[in-house]
Chain A
Amino acid sequence: MKHKTFFWFFLPTASAMLLFIALPIFSIVIQSLFTPHDAVIIVTENCDPFGCKQETTIDQEATRDLRKSEPLGKFVGLEIYKDRGHLAVNEVKEIWIESNNFTEFKKNIGNLPFYRAMAFTLTFTFTVTPLMLVFGFIIALAVNSLHHNLKGLTIFFSLLPMIVSPLIGSLVLFWMIDSRGIIGEALQYVFEDPDLSLKASTGLTWVMLIVYGVWHAAPFSFVVFYAGLQTLPMDTIESAKIDGASRLQQVWYVVIPHLMPLITFVALMQLMDNFRVFEPIVGFSAEAHAQSLSWFIFNDLGGETRLLSSAATSSVLTIIGVSILLFPVLIRTWRDFNEKSAK
């Protein structure tokens, strides 16, 4: 395709992304390098319905000129990246020196918010992604073999976990898994443990979040793979059959290679989404046991005093994290691409 034709085809989508994603990313990177100017704190007398007392307040007048001349704030470079709420460089160094063995080091590192969040996020990402791929693939194969009339209904019901999840997740599911809810009691019965509570222990909360993650994401891979199965080349299957390939072999040697680009695509999107896991943590009130970078951002932006630079830094760290995570897939895409352009 000529450059010029390409340009016009690509212009609308590019301008939308530049305006609403690239520009904000740029400003967020800038934001992460600056903090508000030092506040001048004064003691004043404040009164409320319950009486008057001496309290500290910020003297707005004192920094007004400074804020006007340098509206971005104070340049701090990578300070925020290195502080305790993020990479905690100094704290990690200290822990490294003070810890006697690796277990102790690991335990102390787990006390720092960023690393604690990473432990959960990576576990979540690397269990949910493969599980949902496999699960979605099996559902797609199964639905594809159904009678024509059943397909519509099955597809609809299979999509339900995706359609109703965000609110159902926080409301109905949360109640269902309560130790007195229907799922909670069923589990107590199955495991013969009347005190079993999914919400009270860290391990069980993680399991619960992972199961939910797979449940919620399986329809996505199902639909993509199902659509992909419709373009399966019949002649290849036929010839494989003539060669005496078993059903499993047909799936392994014909279907999966055919779906490979779609599998890569779903894996890419899922790795990314799972790394940014957020909604289930809030929906299931799991903050006590599981956190993620996205949750930190939410927390920084939702507090009474909003930490904008900190949220910006966490966002940039998310992008970096995703890039590292996707690197192998990207290398693969790069190779595919080179093959494509070599053709």
Chain B
Amino acid sequence: MMNGVLTIALNGFRESRRNRVTSVLVVFALILVFSVTVSVEFTFSTFDRVMADFGLGVIGLVTPALALFLSTGLIPREIERRTIFMVVARPVSRSAFVIGRYLGNLFTVGFLLLVMAILFLAQLAIMYATTNFGTGIHAPHLVALYGLALEMVLLTAVAFTFATLSSQFVATLMATCVYFIGHMAEDLFNLAQRTKVVPFKLLGTGLYYLFPNFDRLDFKDRATYLDATPMGELATATAYTAAYTVIMLLIATAIFERRDFK
């Protein structure tokens, strides 16, 4: 099974590399990250904060967009174009197909994140070394990038789950909603605790526990102010992402196992 998963994953990565839309997005993302340097030219003070905030903000915008775009379209497109026939008819289980496709997307988005991260960190280091602006690379920057990687892992799994049961349009809509609700999870929970209307309280609390809490994985603000994140919190965030991702993939494979490919 592992060989099948890896073969499908590597093929998915190759598909993204040859996909023109992905290439355009990659170029766009790199230009955006590079524009951090330009933004500093218009800054009078706190260069380090502007660089970190702008750079991580751009990466935090591009990565989920790419994760959503790639993950929600893939399975509906395979079924619609019937390319899936010649893969699923092979001695490959459907769960291997789903996990392989998921990993293929992860490789793609992960590769892009890695390239953007290297460019961002290089800018911090070069700027510090050549002009003495900013503070160079610090642990909170790396933690923020790690948080973005966790967010990508989880968001891809959520988008994949929706894609196994609906069209690309519906899956994109649903996954985008989950992404934004997940980023407002803490606010929703606090609001639910303050309200006196019981149904709202229950709804807010329910949504908080049901939806993935992307706020837990967001360390960008701490990178801006160079605030340290305790190791325990990082470990919890990692375990939370792993558990939620496994649950999402189990749901995705369970749905996919029952589907008819007409």
Report whether chain A binds chain B. no
